[in-house]
Chain A
């Protein structure tokens, strides 16, 4: 009898321990979320004080007090998302939501501050609405992907869904021309009411799932590299074929709607996933050579792309028509006038640059927060990429590993392409800065990626 009771006690203790382990409260996340909250409150305070300054000329255009609600709304939304994650994914990574939250805070504050300057008083409220929808979809993603095999098994369906959405916009785009970029064409698609949606944002996620599913199943064959053409190793065509067809169709579609920045992004994430799956640098070299040939061809066909490249050298050239380099030059002046500590939130005039809330959000942020602020922004993106890659490193299943690498590459490449574009290091392409740039589709897609990364991190603890 006595020994039996001892065993039961031990069992009870074990169950209790398991319960505690399984439902640990996410204290770290809560603590880290206090920082974006403090950032938001101080920003609101500063904007309110700037408004009372009689000597500041442009104070009329600063947001009136009632538009400060977005900042407080965001704090509430992050708190609710935190509680939801405690229920749905108690063991998931605790830094992803705070990093995304801090970046989204910067985005909402910048939209609130810049909106009135470009005669869109409710820009901050709209951005907040996108963030809230994004957070809801993030939590839903965490919940519905509990079984990651479901994503892997339907990999062709996902690829078809992504390509179908982009094909829809391709059909709706009435005319085809080679001399203009296509942001607007893509945004027309699926417009309901005043809202527009960019299916290309979802295409990225669908393709990552497809590549991860396909590459993880054919990892062994890819590592073989039976054919050698000169110094270039080629994998068995049978196994690489479907992948290349899918990639080719995606790139053709995107070039069809003239979104070269997105084509670059998709090619980049394909390369990083292929490298991680096969561990063969030669594939990367072969692909880069193909890419160079493709890029030269693209610059030959698309005159707007050529113009973007030419402007890098001649932006400051007075002989060139002044409007050509206007945006690039104004963006650089924005960065420069910020100095080390910036002009202060609400004290600069970043809206001189066209697209100050979208493509040039980094320049607007740089003017008001200075070099110190931009370094912090880059630091936050680096941490996001670091956490994503460490989730990949810890993953046991090849599919999970490749998914984490691909999703992280989306963030890394987007940040790189748009920051380099803003700083006149690379031709400018209209890729949104993740979480910070104004725009619903991109925010929602980014929060889906955060949701998937959270799920992947929990799958391997």
Chain B
């Protein structure tokens, strides 16, 4: 079998037949490579999630004094980190699963050796000692924070 015949041959082992198989194989190769990249991304995400990271800095605690309509247990003690977010979003530091709590409801931050509470544009507002806050408000131990129908007390 000479070369031209081999190249042009349409037979079962001709060049054309091989090309046809290679063509489909390339589509699968593309899929395999993309799946490989997706797997690497997943592993990386998992690794980031598992990194112990810097030891968590706890700058205070929240005690639940009124759990409202939620299932949060009364007197539960929650850590306050230098930046603590409160909301319905599962990514919040303190998750409150309630219809009257916004996705990102409020934020507690540690600045100038003091804790500050800010409202993040929630629908129903954030209250400190019963007063609705409109700007970042400094709080001290024993102050009462109300988010939705849940009330907390600040402690050290």
Contacts and interface: CB of A to CB of B under 8 A. Distances in A.
Given A46-B20, A342-B24, A376-B24, A32 B31 contact: no
Contact of B30 (A35, A43, A49, A219): A35
**Interface size class of chain A, counting residues whose CB lies under 8 Å from the partner chain:** 35 or more
Interface in B9-34: 10, 15-17, 19-24, 26-31, 33-34
Interface in A31-50: 31-32, 35-36, 38-39, 42-43, 45-46, 49-50
Given A49-B8, A53-B16, A386 B24 contact: no
Given A45-B19, A102-B30, A344-B16, A32 B24 contact: no
Given A387-B38, A396-B91, A341 B21 contact: yes
A398 B37 contact: no
A261 interface: no
Contact of B20 (A31, A56, A341): A341
Contacts of B133: none
Nearest to B9: A53
Nearest to A98: B34
B141 interface: no
A104 to B, nearest CB: 13
Contacts of A369: 23-24, 27
Given A49-B16, A376-B31, A220 B100 contact: yes
Interface in A339-384: 341-342, 344-345, 369-370, 372-373, 376-377, 379-380, 383
Contact of B23 (A46, A387, A398): A46
Given A43-B23, A220-B101, A376-B31, A32 B16 contact: no
Contact of B27 (A53, A344, A376, A394): A376
B146 to A, nearest CB: 16
Contacts of B10: 53, 55-56
Given A53-B10, A344-B16, A36 B23 contact: no
A39 B27 contact: yes
A46 B15 CA distance: 9
Contacts of A53: 8, 10, 16
A376 B102 CA distance: 43
B76 interface: no
Contacts of B26: 35, 38-39, 42
Interface in A15-31: 28, 31
Contacts of A223: 88, 99
Given A55-B10, A373-B27, A396-B91, A46 B37 contact: no
Contacts of A28: 37
A327 B37 CA distance: 40
Interface string A417-445: 00000000000000000000000000000
A99 B35 CA distance: 11
Contact of A99 (B34, B89, B91, B103): B34
Given A35-B33, A50-B16, A220-B100, A377 B27 contact: yes
A49 B19 CA distance: 10
A26 to B, nearest CB: 11
A35 B17 CA distance: 20
B7 interface: yes
A258 B59 CA distance: 63
B55 to A, nearest CB: 22
B7 A49 contact: yes
A342 B37 CA distance: 29
Interface in A87-135: 94-95, 98-99, 102
Contacts of A55: 10
Contacts of B31: 376, 379-380, 383
Nearest to B15: A49
Contacts of A52: 8
Interface string B63-98: 000000000000000000000000011010000000
B83 to A, nearest CB: 14
A224 interface: yes
Contacts of B140: none
Contacts of B8: 49, 52-53
Given A28-B37, A383-B35, A39 B30 contact: yes
14 contacts: A35-B26, A39-B27, A45-B19, A53-B8, A220-B88, A220-B99, A341-B21, A341-B24, A344-B19, A373-B27, A379-B31, A383-B31, A383-B34, A390-B38
Interface of A: 28, 31-32, 35-36, 38-39, 42-43, 45-46, 49-50, 52-53, 55-56, 94-95, 98-99, 102, 219-221, 223-224, 341-342, 344-345, 369-370, 372-373, 376-377, 379-380, 383, 386-387, 390, 394, 396, 398
Give the top 5 A-B pairs by smallest Cβ distance, nearest first: A376-B27, A35-B30, A344-B20, A224-B99, A46-B19
